[in-house]
Amino acid sequence: MNALPVCVSLMGPTASGKTDLAVWLCQRFPLEIVSVDSALVYRDMNIGTAKPDAATLARAPHHLINVVDPTESYSAGRFRADALALMADIGARGRVPLLVGGTMLYFKALKGGLDELPAANPVLRADLDARAARDGWPALHRQLAELDPKTAARLQPNDAQRIQRALEVCLLSGQPMSALHRGGAGALPWRMIEIALVPGERGWLHERINQRFRMMLDAGLVDEVRRLRAKYPLTPDMASMRCVGYRQTWQYLDGAITLKQLYDTGAAATRQLAKRQMTWLRGWPDARQFDCMAPDLIGRIGGFVEAAVATA
């Protein structure tokens, strides 16, 4: 095990300070960032994804941002393949990959491999979207509960993207998705040093989330989505437009909600995302947890990473 090359993962809920910490680490150690974020992969989606600005990217380049158009899909399987190729290149140049983000499914896919699930079926997905438009996602969630109660139990009734995928797998394979999750082949050929940023107080994180979403609106999130709709043939059911903040802004532009409701629902959806991320992290094996509220956080993580890099 110790003969494997070292990589470092920096995980945490949204708004926990991962980017600033990652940039600081890259300026002090021979690290190179690979983004683990299912929203940062999209081009032209900058404000609502809290994408690092040009100055930040100049100080600490990030891989796997701006890799697909918002009309395209990007899967956990593609992430794993792209990340492994980048990590090999980073290691060959004598540096250490620093995997940074909050998309825990991507971390899971990278670390443990992928289950063999049916490929996406556009015709079936279109049918599910049409049914959801007619009956609502809670109705499809109830169908999923009949076909795969274990998977349905861990999903919210309006979690459109995951409900759709779980139903798709059930209907294509004839088996529950939960029965197909047996741990995919392909062990990670790296020794991963795992860091989890976990706030000691949930209220602290909620306040940061609320402030950040307000800043996104002030920075022009509505205009950003308006430009996206003008530039690309987007629909609200596309994965990019299901991202937190973009879904609510789309509804605002369609006149379905007010500006105040946009803020309220967007901030609430971001808090729900953070809650799901925290649930993943609480059950994550092998991660060294750090309180991201701690005043000595940088020094403690710096020492931890220094020791890890010394073994690379």
Q: How far apart are CA 240 and CA 297, in angstroms?
A: 33
Q: How do residues 50-92 score in pLDDT, each as one tens digit?
A: 999 999 999 999 999 999 999 998 989 899 999 999 999 999 9
Total Cβ atoms within 10 A of residue 260: 9
Instruction: From 279, 301, 312, select the one nearest 108 (Cα to Cα).
Output: 279
State mean pLDDT over 33-37: 98
Residue type (1 letter), 76: A
CA-CA distances (angstroms) from residue 94 to 6, 63, 270? 11, 17, 37
- Cα–Cα dist 194/99, whole Å: 9
Q: What global pTM score does this model have?
A: 0.82
Stretch 168-195: mean pLDDT: 81
Would you say residue 300 has pLDDT above 90?
A: yes
* Stretch among 23-37, 138-152, 163-177, 238-252 having the lowest mean pLDDT: 163-177
pLDDT tens, position by position, 120-139? 888 888 899 999 999 999 99
* 3-state SS class at 265: helix
Q: Which of 3-17, 64-78, 109-123, 232-246 has the lowest mean pLDDT?
A: 109-123
Q: Which residues of 210-242 are buried (b: 16+ CB within 10 A; e: fewer)?
A: beebeebbeeebbebbeebbeebebeebbbbbb
* Predicted local distance difference test score (pLDDT) of residue 113: 82
What gap in Å lies between CA 132 and CA 141, rounded to an integer? 10
State yes or no: pLDDT of 13 exceeds 60: yes
pLDDT given at position 126 = 87
Query: Over 80: is that where the pLDDT of 184 sits?
Result: no
